[in-house]
Structure 1
Amino acid sequence: MRVLGFITKRPIILSLVLGLIVSSLSYFFQPLFPYHSIAHRGASAYAPENTMASFQKAVALGFDFIELDIRMSKDQELIVIHDADVKRTTNGEGFVRDLTVDELKQLDAGSWFHPNYSSEKIPLLSEVLDTFGGKINLLIEMKFPENETNMTEKLAHTLYEYFEQGLDPSTVKVQSFHIFEIKKFHQLCPEVSAGILLSKPLDMFHLASYRSFASFLAVHYRLLSKSLVNQALFFDYEIYTWTIQDQPLFTVMQKLGVHGIISNQEKKKTSKFTVD
């Protein structure tokens, strides 16, 4: 009986082993898809995040996009900063929404990273557009626009001013976690590609319903799978992933077929494969 049991189970075991081998070989030989390299808050591994220095470094390193965050100042200007509070990335204290542009501009936004960057200031979105618009693609994240009076409207109006001056709308993308505000932005500024940031999966119903105003999804890398990518592609979304820190993850994301990789650093080139 023991012999018969072993014989009966052996094909199952062999099938499992062969399945694992085929699966591993299939992954190993999957192509490395090309992607847009997106500098997270600028080239923030090399210079203080969301500063002109980090954006300039991203250009110098050859990134395809700069990703940046915007909030509203007390006097209703679009400010480039990630946190609601200035404490982490400046020598000041207080909430961005409680400070005027003049007060924000007095802060040192670089010394926390390295003393060499002590002259860095918190940029206005207009300053970024003046310096980098048309030089590199821009991916703008609206931080909690649902809590900021008229942020979405202000952003759309500002972008239109630059489009009238010659900036190509195809070089700008806008994203947010807040779906309603992205829908509103698309209605106000349909020329600009709008996307939804995701920290949890979407079902097929939501993928279908959001497609009328969103053209890309920015998905945390831990949520990504080939199945999710295929579902998104079925609805003609582009897929971006955030935030890649470890070099091996670049290859994993390429094998999944994402369109853009948001990272603090560039992918290290090797003799075996070079992106673009």
Structure 2
Amino acid sequence: MTQIFAHRGYSSAFAENTMSAFIAAEKAGADGLELDVQLTKDGEVVVIHDEKLDRTTTGKGFVRDTTFKEIRKLNANKKGVNKEPIPSLVEVLEWMQSNQLVCNIELKNNLFPYEGMEEKVIQLVRRFNLSNRIIISSFNHYSIVLSYRTAPEIETAPLFNERIYMPWVYAQSIRAQGIHPKLASVTDEIIKGAIENGVAVRPYTVNKDADMQRLYKLNCTSIITDDPVKALKIKKQYEKRP
């Protein structure tokens, strides 16, 4: 049965990558979360998508040039009424103790190679005994390999923008148990081929009804969506069909 991962939390209705978005996704009935991590100037693992603070927060400049203390003062709910702090990964993992969600942690280290980020993330995951509920993904596949070598017990999944020939062969070659392809670049054949070869497929970002229906029909491993409520509604309708 296809799992539903809330992309940056329930981001179609809440400020992305905030605790409110994560809590709302869990309440909505999502199976998992997708979130992004980077390092602050003083080496704290924080949950934010862009390398720059400008789009999603009241801050300016790069995450890596800002200390954790400074980052915590910013509002990650720029367009909303309530103030939302940028979460630390610790905060999210602590909260995960109270539920059964799976969490896809995307390492945002393709532009800046954030030295030591893999080890820091793995250390935290182990500290909270969550190794069996975490998937580490990244567009930086060197980072994926390093994560696997450091913690073979934690699932890894490379992210792709482009269409790759037999991506499950590539995934197996780097010991990844899944692939996270861009929705537009993944065909039905690729999804079937990967799943038949024991490699999970979790396309991003799946927001249209027709795309959801297509992936449910294929029994795709998971979908990564901004709207878990809609995804669940369509999934229930789909399951009712004879």
Same fold (TM over 0.5): yes
Q: Quick one: which amino acid aligns to residue 102 of structure 1?
A: K
Percent of pairs with identical residues: 28
1:131-157 CA-to-partner distances (Å, cap 9, x unmatched) read: 124512111000016611111121112
Alignment partner for residue 219 of structure 2, among 247, 251, 257? Answer: 257
Supply the distance in 2 between the matched residues of 1:93 and 1:150 (Cα, whole angstroms): 24
Supply the distance in 1 between the matched residues of 2:237 and 2:149 (Cα, whole angstroms): 45
**1:166-185 maps to which residues of 2 (within 5 A)?**
167=130, 169-185=131-147
1:203-242 CA-to-partner distances (Å, cap 9, x unmatched) read: 24x6324314200001111112122123313431011111
Supply the distance in 2 between the matched residues of 1:183 and 1:272 (Cα, whole angstroms): 39
**1:91-240 maps to which residues of 2 (within 5 A)?**
91-112=58-79, 114-115=80-81, 117=82, 119-133=83-97, 135=99, 136-144=101-109, 147-163=113-129, 167=130, 169-204=131-166, 207-212=168-173, 213-240=175-202
SS at match of 2:33: strand
Supply the distance in 1 between the matched residues of 2:216 and 2:186 (Cα, whole angstroms): 12
Change over 3 Å in CA distance of 1:209–1:221 after alignment to 2: closer
1:61-120 CA-to-partner distances (Å, cap 9, x unmatched) read: 0000011000010001101000000111111101000000000001011132x21x2x21
Supply the distance in 2 between the matched residues of 1:273 and 1:239 (Cα, whole angstroms): 19
Residue pair 2:171, 2:178 contacting (<8 A) in 1 also: no
Residue pair 1:229, 1:257 contacting (<8 A) in 2 also: no
Change over 3 Å in CA distance of 1:209–1:124 after alignment to 2: same
Residue pair 1:225, 1:256 contacting (<8 A) in 2 also: no
Supply the distance in 1 between the matched residues of 2:98 and 2:105 (Cα, whole angstroms): 14
Supply the distance in 2 between the matched residues of 1:134 and 1:232 (Cα, whole angstroms): 33
Change over 3 Å in CA distance of 1:272–1:257 after alignment to 2: closer
Residue pair 2:157, 2:178 contacting (<8 A) in 1 also: yes
Deviation at 1:257, TM superposition (A): 2.9
Unaligned runs of 5+ residues in structure 1 are: 1-33
User: Hey, what does 1:55 align to over in structure 2?
Assistant: 22
Residue pair 1:247, 1:268 contacting (<8 A) in 2 also: no
Residue pair 1:242, 1:261 contacting (<8 A) in 2 also: yes
State the structure with more CA Rg: 1
Supply the distance in 1 between the matched residues of 2:106 and 2:232 (Cα, whole angstroms): 26
Change over 3 Å in CA distance of 1:272–1:97 after alignment to 2: closer
Supply the distance in 2 between the matched residues of 1:219 and 1:269 (Cα, whole angstroms): 24
User: Hey, what does 1:84 align to over in structure 2?
Assistant: 51
SS at match of 2:146: helix
Aligned residues: 234
Q: Quick one: which amino acid aligns to residue 152 of structure 1?
A: E
Residue pair 2:134, 2:155 contacting (<8 A) in 1 also: yes
Change over 3 Å in CA distance of 1:148–1:272 after alignment to 2: closer
Residue pair 1:134, 1:171 contacting (<8 A) in 2 also: no
Change over 3 Å in CA distance of 1:257–1:272 after alignment to 2: closer
Deviation at 1:274, TM superposition (A): 4.2
Change over 3 Å in CA distance of 1:215–1:59 after alignment to 2: same
SS at match of 2:4: strand
